[in-house]
C-alpha cells in the first residue's frame, strides 16, 4: 500500500500559502516557508552566502507551512501526518519515522530512558518548552517538561538563559528538540543556548553540553578554514559528539570534519503505507567529501574512502525536506515541513540514545566517543549494522560500502542494540 496522496493538494497548498497574517506581519521564516511552498522547492533557512565569517549557520531547510486542514490518516494525529501532498512531499510524524527506522524494535531501548541528549543551538527561544509540549501532545508523545525533570534549558555556561532571540535559529532549535524527543521519548533533553552563532560561543556551549549529557547533537557548521585544527580540541570529548554534514553537497564542512565528531549526512527516505522503508537514497544536499585540512583519523585507516585526508560523513539519516518532518514553532506561526541534515543529526543522536539504554540493560557502561566502534561495526559486518545507501549524489556519487555522501550508511538501531554492545569493552 502506498502512502496516501491528497487529490486536493493544489487547493491545500493555496490555502497554506494564504492562511494567517498578512505578508507584512509574518516572520522571515514564515515568509520563506510560503515562498518555498509556492515554488514547490524547499529553501535553506540560513543560506551560506548570508552567514558572516567566524559564525556557524543552521543546516535546516523549510518546505512549507503546515497550516492547511487535511483529512486525518488517523483520528488522533494532525491531518498532515504521514501523507504525501503533491508539490510538497511526504510529511513524517514521529510514529511513522520510529517505525521506518526500527526504533521500537530496539531490545532494551526503552525510548532512551536514563540518557541525556544535549542539543546545542544559538540564541534563546523563550517558548521552547511550551512548543515542545504542544508538539508532544499533538504527536501522542510523553510530556517533556522542566517540572517532570525531562527538559532543561540553559545558557552556554549552564546558568539561566541570557541570549537574545533569533527567529531563524528558533526553527532549528524546535526541529532539534522535538525530533530528539520523538525518537527517544524517554530520554532527557538538555538545551544549551549559545549567546550567538560565533565559533567561540557555540564552542563554549558544546563544552558545557558534553560535560552534562551523554550524547550531544549539533546541527550547524561552516565551510572549512585553514585554522580549523586549532578548534579540534573542542570537539574531542569522551562522549558521542554529532554534527550535521551540511546542505550544499560536496565538499566537507567543519566541525563535521573534526576527527572527534561523528558526522551525519543526509538521505531521502520513502516508505509504504505501513511506514516500512521502501527505499533510501542519498540526498543531493548532503554535505560530504575529503577534508582540506584534517588528517586521516585512525578509525578510517582500515577502510577505503578515496580520500588522503579525513573523509566525511560517517553515517547518514533522513534529511531531504521533500520527505521531511513536521516541526512546531509557534514563534514563527505554527507547524512547518522541515528537513536538512539539521534533521539527520538529532535523529541519529536519538537512535544512539536508545542503543545506549539497551547497552546499559546488557550490563555495559555508557558510550564514550563512538567513531572507533562505529567503524569497527562497519568492518566486522557492514550489512548487519548499516543500511547501505547505494544511489544518489551530492556532486559525488553514493555507492556500495563507504561513500562521501552517506558515509557507512544509516545506522540500524535494532541490530546495534542486539550485538553492538559486544564490540565495545
Contact 214, 237 (CB under 8 A): no
Computed over every residue of the chain, the mean pLDDT equals 91
* % the chain with pLDDT above 70: 90
**171 located within any domain:** yes
The pLDDT tens digits of the residues spanning 213-243 come to 999 999 999 999 999 999 999 999 899 999 9
Residue 47 located in a structural domain: no
Bond from prior residue into 251 cis (ω within 30 degrees of 0): yes
Lowest mean pLDDT segment, chosen from 43-57, 65-79, 207-221, 316-330? 65-79
Q: Report the number of distinct structural domains present in the chain.
A: 1
Please give the pLDDT value at position 132.
Answer: 98
Higher pLDDT, 416 or 127: 127
Higher-confidence residue: 414 or 224?
224
Domain ranges, residue 212: 83-423
Range among 82-86, 336-340, 414-418 rated most confident: 336-340
Q: What is the pLDDT of residues 122-174, one digit of tens each?
A: 999 999 999 999 999 999 999 999 999 999 999 999 999 999 999 999 999 99
Query: Whole-angstrom Cα distance, residue 254 to residue 225?
Result: 8
Distances (CA, A) of 309 to 259, 294, 418: 10, 6, 33
Residue 76: pLDDT band with limits 50, 70, 90: confident
Q: According to the model, what pLDDT value does residue 9 have?
A: 46
Residue 20: pLDDT band (50, 70, 90) is very low
The percent of residues in the chain predicted with pLDDT above 90, rounded, is 83
403 in any annotated domain: yes
Q: How far apart are CA 99 and CA 271, in angstroms?
A: 10
pLDDT of 422 reads 52
Instruction: With residue 377 as reference, give the H or E element that holds it.
Output: helix 371-385
Q: Which residue has the higher pLDDT, 25 or 263?
A: 263
Report the alpha-carbon distance of residue 178 to residue 185 in Å, rounded: 9
Query: Is there a domain that residue 399 lies in?
Result: yes
311 strand-pairing partners = 290
In a domain, 71, yes or no: no
pLDDT digit string, tens, across residues 294-326: 999 999 998 999 999 999 999 999 999 999 999
CB-based contacts of 149-153 (< 8 A; 24+ apart in sequence): 149/188, 150/188, 150/189, 151/177, 151/188, 151/189, 151/191, 152/188, 152/189, 152/190, 152/191, 153/128, 153/129, 153/191, 153/193
CATH of the domain at 217: 3.40.50.200
Give the neighbor-by-neighbor strand order of the sheet with 253-254.
Answer: 57-58, 220-223, 253-254
Q: All 3 cell numbers of residue 343?
A: 534533521
pLDDT level of residue 424 (50, 70, 90 thresholds):
very low
| Rounded-to-integer distance, Cα 54 and Cα 66, Å | 34
Please check whether residue 211 lies inside any domain of the structure. yes
**Is 377 within a domain?**
yes
- pLDDT at residue 269 is higher than 50: yes
Estimate the share of the chain in helix, then strand, then coil, as percent rounded to the nearest 5: 35, 25, 45
Q: Is residue 129 part of a domain?
A: yes
Q: Give the position of cell 525536506.
A: 321
Amino acid at each position: 500500500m502506498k502512502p496516501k496522496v491528497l487529490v486536493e493538494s493544489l487547493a491545500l497548498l493555496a490555502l497554506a500559502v494564504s492562511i494567517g497574517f498578512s505578508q507584512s506581519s509574518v516572520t522571515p521564516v514564515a515568509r520563506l516557508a510560503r515562498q518555498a511552498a509556492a515554488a514547490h522547492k524547499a529553501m535553506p533557512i540560513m543560506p551560506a552566502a548570508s552567514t558572516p565569517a567566524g559564525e556557524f549557520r543552521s543546516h535546516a531547510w523549510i518546505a512549507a507551512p503546515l497550516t492547511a486542514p487535511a483529512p486525518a490518516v488517523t483520528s488522533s494525529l494532525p491531518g498532515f501526518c504521514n501523507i504525501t501532498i503533491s508539490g510538497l512531499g511526504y510529511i513524517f510524524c514521529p510514529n511513522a519515522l520510529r517505525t521506518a527506522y526500527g526504533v521500537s524494535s530496539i531490545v532494551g531501548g526503552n525510548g532512551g530512558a536514563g540518557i541525556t541528549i544535549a542539543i546545542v543551538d544559538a540564541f534563546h527561544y523563550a517558548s521552547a518548552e511550551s512548543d515542545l509540549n504542544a508538539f508532544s501532545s499533538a504527536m501522542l508523545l510523553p510530556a517533556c517538561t522542566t517540572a517532570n525533570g525531562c527538559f532543561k534549558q540553559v545558557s552556554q555556561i549552564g546558568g539561566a538563559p541570557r541570549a537574545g532571540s533569533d527567529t531563524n535559529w528558533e526553527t532549528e532549535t524546535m526541529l532539534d528538540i522535538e525530533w530528539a524527543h520523538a525518537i527517544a521519548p524517554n530520554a532527557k533533553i538538555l538545551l544549551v543556548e549559545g549567546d550567538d552563532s560565533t565559533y567561540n560561543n557555540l564552542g563554549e556551549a558544546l563544552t558545557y553540553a558534553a560535560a552534562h549529557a551523554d550524547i550531544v547533537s549539533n546541527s550547524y557548521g561552516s565551510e572549512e578554514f585553514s585554522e580549523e585544527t586549532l578548534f579540534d580540541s573542542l570537539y574531542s570529548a569522551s562522549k558521542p559528539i554529532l554534527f550535521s554534514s551540511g546542505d550544499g553537497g560536496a565538499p566537507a564542512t567543519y566541525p563535521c570534519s573534526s576527527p572527534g565528531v561523528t558526522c551525519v549526512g543526509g538521505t531521502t527516505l520513502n516508505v509504504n503505507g505501513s511506514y516500512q522503508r521502501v527505499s533510501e537514497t542519498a540526498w543531493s544536499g548532503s554535505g560530504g567529501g575529503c577534508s582540506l585540512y584534517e588528517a586521516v583519523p585512525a578509525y578510517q585507516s582500515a577502510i577505503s574512502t578515496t580520500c588522503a585526508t579525513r573523509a566525511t560523513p560517517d553515517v547518514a539519516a533522513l534529511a531531504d525536506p521533500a520527505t521531511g518532518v513536521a516541526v512546531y514553532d509557534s514563534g514563527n506561526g505554527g507547524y512547518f515541513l522541515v528537513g536538512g541534515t539539521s534533521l539527520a543529526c538529532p535523529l541519529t543522536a536519538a537512535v544512539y540514545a536508545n542503543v545506549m539504554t539497551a547497552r546499559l540493560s546488557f550490563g555495559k557502561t555508557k558510550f564514550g566517543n563512538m567513531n572507533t566502534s562505529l567503524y569497527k561495526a562497519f568492518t566486522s559486518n557492514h550489512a548487519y549494522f548499516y543500511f547501505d545507501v547505494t544511489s544518489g549524489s551530492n556532486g559525488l556519487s553514493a555507492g556500495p560500502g563507504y561513500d562521501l555522501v552517506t558515509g557507512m550508511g544509516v545506522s540500524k538501531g535494532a541490530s546495534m542494540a542486539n550485538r553492538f554492545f559486544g564490540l565495545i569493552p
